[in-house]
Structure 1
Amino acid sequence: MDTRRKMRYLRQNAAPPASMVPMAQRFSVSVQAPISASGTVAEHPACSTLPQRSCRHPLTNLVENDRLARCEESIKGRFDAIVPLLQELAARGLGRGYVEDAQRLSTERLGFTLPEKLLGNAWVRGLDTRGLFASATFAALELGVERFSQRMRDEMQAGENVDAMLVECGFHTLNVSACADGRLKGLFPYVLRLPAGRLLRRSAFAGTLFDVEKDVDDWQATELQRFREGFPTTADVPTRYLKVAVYHGSSLDPTHQGCAAHGSNESKALEAALQRLQDFRGAIENEFCCGASTDILLIGLDTDTDAIRIHVPDAKGNLSAYRYVDNAQVYQQTLGMDADRARLAVYEAIRVAAESSGWGQGDGMPHDGMRRLIATLLINNLSQIEYVGEQVGGWYPDQGHGERFISVGDGFQELQVRNLAYYARLDTVEEGAADLDVGIKIFKHLNIERQLPIPMTIHYRYDSRVPGSRERVVAKLQRVAAAIRQRYAQLDGDGWLYLHGSVQDMPLGSVLEEVVLA
């Protein structure tokens, strides 16, 4: 069924037929509402009719939802086909023609061939399923990056509109730090619906505990560029550097499936993210005086539904844990409205939050640009709430961790999909030890308990405009790989840890270059 007919069907019917649902999802959509941690049937916070039928919100971008669904299926489907293929190969006899048959099946189902050496030696030592699993995971990653590099370049062109919107809202940089949890991996393209742009920065740290000093350095570099190049605004234009932190929790099982770095305590996750934001702004004001204008913004994410909560700053830019807009409530309250009334209701929700009394009371309304940006993010997220309703019945079936590999270093911005990778942003193992340890702990449960190894990619970007940059980055990658092997020597020695190295030029969508690790 083509996209136009599909969209028309979705508007007219309660649920799509099985032929319209991706094969990987037909068996994951729950026909009953999930059971909450209290043991009762959960009611969806945004749409009370889920999962029996989907709600239809007037501000949902149905075409974009359909595109993102196809994108997610194409990326995750390749990774999820690895284990079934290896199970089939393990069950086959290692007779004549085994290697040829294995390569044919791999090409058909995964889109690439498996290492010839591992298959050719199977008749002597048995099938090396660990090595094949890791190799296939890395090959799926490389193919995904290759195929979506063009999409990223297209997004960069579309991102010019996002950059223009940010400047119109009074911001010359949007720097977002989220938790390294893989459930936040689709934060930009899915949850917030923000394409790649020149003014966007993104990073991930366990517990959203971002590096304040590095972000202060980024602020200085940004202000210097404004002063020397006038990009994106000249130094005399009163735009601001906006730092955003994203924490997360679980509405279905808040005490077990929340942020692992904070013991699944959402209050601690919120407070830690807020403290980092305040430290960042305070560091700049203390060093460069109060004229060094920065804004901060705090966003919470329910990883079960992808509904966000935005904490609304007051007129002085201060945040409160108790002053926010819950987008699940906005979705529910605006369902029966037309598009224009729904947009006005979003702005009204921001106004009501800004005028909170009691513990959430602030000092006036945020500036117009901040209100416009918050409204944009809330409206974008309404489409994502409906996306989760359409694809998986309102709640993700993988309430906890379900990452496919650990990503160390700069990460792969071409592949931004929920629960695809656990991301540890680090320059040295010593500095990033806490993030790495959380990732290893997660994968001991996800993979080793199923007798599967831990695939870990080490990836850094270099700047081809700088002489010797690539060589220095490759040397750094080799040092990090050696330090990782030393830190997890037992796992490495027992064959449970597989490393893969790669580098990439700075421009998004650049070719992925594999680095053979020493």
Structure 2
Amino acid sequence: MMRTARRAAPRWSFDWQPWAVAGSLGAAPAVDPWQGGMASAATHPLAEPQLSAALAQRAERIRAAFAEVGPAIERVATAGYGSDAAARAALAGIGDVSALGPLAGDWKRPVDWVARQAELVIAVFARLVAEGAERSAMLDGEPAEVVMRRFGFHAVDIATCADGRMAGLLDYVLRVPRVIVAARRSYAGALFPVAEAVSAWERTELRRLRNGKEPVGNTRFLKMGVYHFSSRDPSHEGCAAHGSDDRKAAGLLLERLEAFAAAIDRHYGDAANVAILLAGHDTDTDSLRVHVPDASGRMDIDRFVCARYLHDATAGMTREEAKEHIREEVAACMGVAADDAATEGMRWFCGYLLKNNVAQVAAVRALYGEGYPDAGHDERLIVLGDPIDDVQLRNLAFQAQGQSVEERAGDLAVGVRILGERLSAEGLAVPVLVVRSFDPAIPGDEQDAEAASLRMRAAVARMFPLGNGPRVHAVAAVRATGGGPLRFVHADSAGGAGRGPCGCGGHRA
């Protein structure tokens, strides 16, 4: 479906400075973080050395946290702790011990250390979520939401693939403040249900209408879809849901985006004025393709601007020259003049994403050369239910989002196959975190979320019974919609329904 630009975007001056680093991600280092292995990328005019160094440090802390799990379980399993409490005390510094089943047993009921290992992986993830990684909500000294309105958008809803190699999309690949992302949900092949996306749009617009902060129709809602591909091994390491066929991945996702826009128009007419945008993520290099819409809003899977090309093309320029080059490339791809007022908002947003991604390409090259050493999967766990974006890192978690196991059975099966191939060879189980969100302002919603998480965990156990394929071990949790720590749910904390945290039924950790 053709989308038309219905209003001229305002003109403004914006320096495209990166969002600031704050909180537990780490302050800017006192010494040059680009010495040694990262020195070569410091010369690129669009590199953001302080931000890239802070992100690299955060990544190492996350990897180190998960690296503690195996040795910690081995110490506790072999040390002969005489009581459950003593064993828990020994693991208290690793993760939330309330996630763990029994840590002491006897010859009749020995401890299931494989289950405990999976639970500890989930506990480490929960600890990282609780620690968080605060981000500044500022862009170039102004609130990010204000800048986004200058781009012509009041909300960005992103659909991505469930593949764990995209688990660092927001912080690393796009480098956007999370305050501008109204929602980010993952599906196999990024193929989001159109009806679900329409409902999410309706909720967002209703809140905006009721808040009355700005005239309705002054800015647009942007639905963005991001597929992924592999430049190193395109026939095998691309999107599994599309058989590693990049054109199929891009084409089918574009069809979903156009169907979403058509559905909004049919129900609400031109006044809804939504925008759509397609992008591709190379999981080997973290580079981005942005399928820039033409002047009428139409996109083509064969027409895009590539950040890898921009990185090389702008390497010898000044920073201002590099930014101007990106603006010109985006305008040329769109088929309009570089100062076309009608398309300015979308052009500047596309340029902003590409500029940010050039900095990530520079960071990856500085650390790893042309791309990551591992082209394949190395996820630690599967997150099932509602999305969690607080902890961002490539290959961290496979995301299978939905309101029931049946709804996301296909996505979950793909994730179990991917993680199971590696973990089963090591004699380990696939950790599955079932998380449901609740609205603290709605009476009873927390209890409903608890019951739903337990039902989903029980459904996972039925879908992957012991002795039939990779071992799968699920843990249930709930979380407030506004963020904050995860709270693990056990059978007796939600009316006694469901199974115990280790899957054996009935006890409380």
2:55 counterpart of 1:75: no
**Which residue number in structure 2 is paired with residue 59 of structure 1?**
46
Question: Superposed, which structure 2 residues align to 1:26-175 within 5 Å?
Answer: 54=41, 56-86=43-73, 106=91, 110=94, 119-121=103-105, 128-148=112-132, 151-152=133-134, 154-155=135-136, 161-175=143-157
**Which residue number in structure 1 is paired with residue 487 of structure 2?**
513
Structure 1 residue 489 displacement after superposition: 2.4
The alpha-carbon distance between structure 1 residues 472 and 448, as it changes in their structure 2 partners (threshold 3 A), is same
**Which residue number in structure 2 is paired with residue 485 of structure 1?**
461
Q: Name which of structure 1's ranges 367-376 and 480-489 shifts more when overlaid on structure 2.
A: 480-489
**Which residue number in structure 1 is paired with residue 375 of structure 2?**
399
2:205 aligned residue (218, 223, 233): 223
Say if 1:107 and 1:113, in contact at 8 Å, map to a contact too.
yes
**1:234 partner letter:** P
Q: Distance in 2 between matches of 1:304 and 1:495?
A: 27
**Which residue number in structure 2 is paired with residue 22 of structure 1?**
none
Normalised by the length of structure 1, the TM-score is: 0.81
**Which residue number in structure 2 is paired with residue 457 of structure 1?**
433
Structure 1 residue 409 displacement after superposition: 0.7
Q: Distance in 2 between matches of 1:475 and 1:347?
A: 51
2:485 counterpart of 1:501: no
Structure 1 residue 381 displacement after superposition: 0.8
Question: Superposed, which structure 2 residues align to 1:199-348 within 5 Å?
Answer: 200-231=182-213, 233-235=214-216, 237-348=217-328
The alpha-carbon distance between structure 1 residues 495 and 443, as it changes in their structure 2 partners (threshold 3 A), is closer
**Larger helix percent:** 1
Provide the alpha-carbon RMSD of the alignment.
Answer: 2.9
- Give the length in aligned residue pairs: 461
The alpha-carbon distance between structure 1 residues 230 and 490, as it changes in their structure 2 partners (threshold 3 A), is same
Structure 1 residue 239 displacement after superposition: 1.1
Say if 2:153 and 2:219, in contact at 8 Å, map to a contact too.
yes
**Which residue number in structure 1 is paired with residue 401 of structure 2?**
425
**2:29 partner letter:** T
Say if 1:162 and 1:194, in contact at 8 Å, map to a contact too.
no
The alpha-carbon distance between structure 1 residues 127 and 388, as it changes in their structure 2 partners (threshold 3 A), is farther
2:344 counterpart of 1:368: yes
Residues 318-369 of structure 1 show CA distances to partners (whole Å, capped at 9, x for unaligned) of 111121101100000101111110110110111221239xxxxxxx997110
Question: Superposed, which structure 2 residues align to 1:12-23 within 5 Å?
Answer: none
2:440 counterpart of 1:467: no
Structure 1 residue 96 displacement after superposition: 7.9
**2:235 partner letter:** T
Q: Distance in 2 between matches of 1:478 and 1:258?
A: 34
1:188 aligned residue (162, 167, 170): 170
Say if 1:177 and 1:208, in contact at 8 Å, map to a contact too.
yes
**Which residue number in structure 1 is paired with residue 504 of structure 2?**
none
Q: Give % identity.
A: 33
Q: Distance in 2 between matches of 1:366 and 1:297?
A: 17
| Structure 2: segments with no counterpart, 5+ residues | 1-27, 492-497, 499-509
Say if 2:160 and 2:227, in contact at 8 Å, map to a contact too.
yes
The alpha-carbon distance between structure 1 residues 398 and 292, as it changes in their structure 2 partners (threshold 3 A), is same
Structure 1 residue 190 displacement after superposition: 0.8
Q: Distance in 1 between matches of 2:181 and 2:232?
A: 35
Q: Distance in 1 between matches of 2:196 and 2:58?
A: 33
Say if 1:182 and 1:423, in contact at 8 Å, map to a contact too.
yes
Q: Distance in 2 between matches of 1:257 and 1:122?
A: 45
The alpha-carbon distance between structure 1 residues 316 and 435, as it changes in their structure 2 partners (threshold 3 A), is same
**1:270 partner letter:** A
**Which residue number in structure 1 is paired with residue 390 of structure 2?**
414
Residues 362-391 of structure 1 show CA distances to partners (whole Å, capped at 9, x for unaligned) of xx9971100111111111111111221233
The alpha-carbon distance between structure 1 residues 122 and 395, as it changes in their structure 2 partners (threshold 3 A), is farther
Residues 280-329 of structure 1 show CA distances to partners (whole Å, capped at 9, x for unaligned) of 01111122223321111000010000000000101221111121101100
The alpha-carbon distance between structure 1 residues 428 and 61, as it changes in their structure 2 partners (threshold 3 A), is same
- Secondary structure of 1:120 counterpart: coil
